[in-house]
A = this chain, B = another copy of it.
């Protein structure tokens, strides 16, 4: 199958490309290095230096014998994206090509405008390139669990039947997010749902939680094939921040009360989920929404897990509660459904002590690269 991966240089895009290519899919990746550009501009460089996308593809081909096609360009440029679709004629497109940082999107007007324009224009362009060049192509869009926020009712998988004053209808599950970045993903969903209805497109929206992990069978072929690892306040997740703090001998900084619960998943499971979605395209006119995570826990619980894994390696790990730079509920109800991907065949890899210990050991190899100043929150909202 011809699979086009937009945002193929990203933390998830690159491992997805290798995973699918290793399974003999015909894979093309597209990226304009926006994340790398923002990382340099904001002093948020990754812990481990990654070769550029074309070099990565060459290294991967040498290691695996499998070729990944590369196109460097900007998905907000419709003429460019249209030419990619016309040339490659994808049967599935995996759309990761978005500015993914919540703090960056909050930083100021320029960053807000870039995030809104980049994310929405890219999604519009993908929808139009599909309509024009590959109307039967299955779009696998990466959404985020953050679109739902933390409502006081159970979160369903994308849709909800509402009974109101004795009548019923089915709607997109209500969404309200905690950052502009997450809000652009809500706008993506609204836009996609419009074109799904109007042009009978095939779409799967994967509502993903925070992903952790550095190891995949393909990434492990060569150190230079490692996924990006950001631990800074702009691109780093809370998992990465805690792991780096543990290695650096700094206290784990829990924002506020630490009762914020999220659904997490292992990078290996993201690869499985994307593959399961690609392997089971939706019908024309169907927007399938799947909640993509394997287990829920609070930030306090995560800190305890990292502390325990650190201790097993002889690290002395302390936990410190700091003022929350974000406007978010620090204690809340959270019960999101997530059976759809399990029904498709997902076999979860949970965050046990050995997984965290392996990540800590990997990070210890790059200890000299750690710049602890990058971790402190520079953006408040």
Give A163-219 interface residues, CB cut-off 8 Å to B: 163-165, 167-169, 171-172, 174-177, 180, 183, 186-187, 190-191, 193-194, 197-198
Contact of A183 among B160, B164, B194 (CB under 8 A): B194
- Determine if A174 and B152 form an interchain contact, defined as CB atoms under 8 angstroms apart: no
Q: Complex formed: what's the CA distance from A160 to B174 in Å?
A: 10
Q: Quick check: A171 and B164 within 8 Å, CB to CB?
A: no
Which of B160, B175, B194 contacts A164, CB < 8 Å?
B160
Determine if A85 is an interface residue (Cβ-Cβ < 8 Å): no
Residues 129 to 159 of chain A near chain B (Cβ within 8 Å): 132, 151-154
Q: Which residues of B contact A327 (CB under 8 A)?
A: 197-198
Alpha-carbon distance between A174 and B162 when the two chains are bound, in angstroms: 10
Chain B residues within an 8 Å CB radius of A164 = 153-154, 160
A120 close to chain B: CB less than 8 A: yes
B194 touches A169 (CB 8 A): no
Tell me the complex Cα distance, A332–B113, Å.
39
With A164-B153, A333-B167 in contact, is A116–B109 under 8 Å at CB?
Answer: no
CB distance from A341 to the nearest CB of B (A): 21
- Whether B176 pairs with A152 at a CB distance below 8 angstroms is no
Contacts of A190 in B (CB 8 A): 175-176, 183, 186-187, 190
* Interface residues in chain A, defined as those with a beta carbon under 8 Å from any beta carbon in chain B: 78, 106, 109, 112-113, 116-117, 120-121, 124, 128, 132, 151-154, 160, 162-165, 167-169, 171-172, 174-177, 180, 183, 186-187, 190-191, 193-194, 197-198, 327, 333, 381
Known: A186-B190, A190-B183. A121 touches B128 (CB 8 A): no
Interface centre among A78, A160, A187 (most CB of B within 10 A): A187
Q: In the complex, A151→B264 CA distance in Å? A: 34
The reply to whether B116 and A120 contact each other, CB–CB distance below 8 Å, is yes
- Min CB–CB distance A168 → chain B (angstroms): 7
Determine the chain B residues whose CB is within 8 A of the CB of A381 once the complex forms: 198
> 8 A-B contacts, Cβ less than 8 Å apart?
A112-B128, A116-B191, A117-B117, A120-B187, A176-B190, A176-B197, A187-B187, A197-B327
Closest-CB distance, A121 to chain B (whole angstroms): 7
Neighbouring B residues of A163 by C-beta, 8 Å: 153
Quick one: given A121-B113, A164-B153, are A194 and B180 in contact (CB under 8 Å)?
yes
Chain B residues near A165 (CB-CB < 8 A) = 153-154
Q: Give Cα A160–Cα B163 distance, bound, in whole angstroms.
A: 11
Q: Is the CB of B154 within 8 A of A169?
A: no
Instruction: List chain B residues, Cβ under 8 A from A180.
Output: 194
Inter-chain contact A191/B187, CB cutoff 8 Å? yes
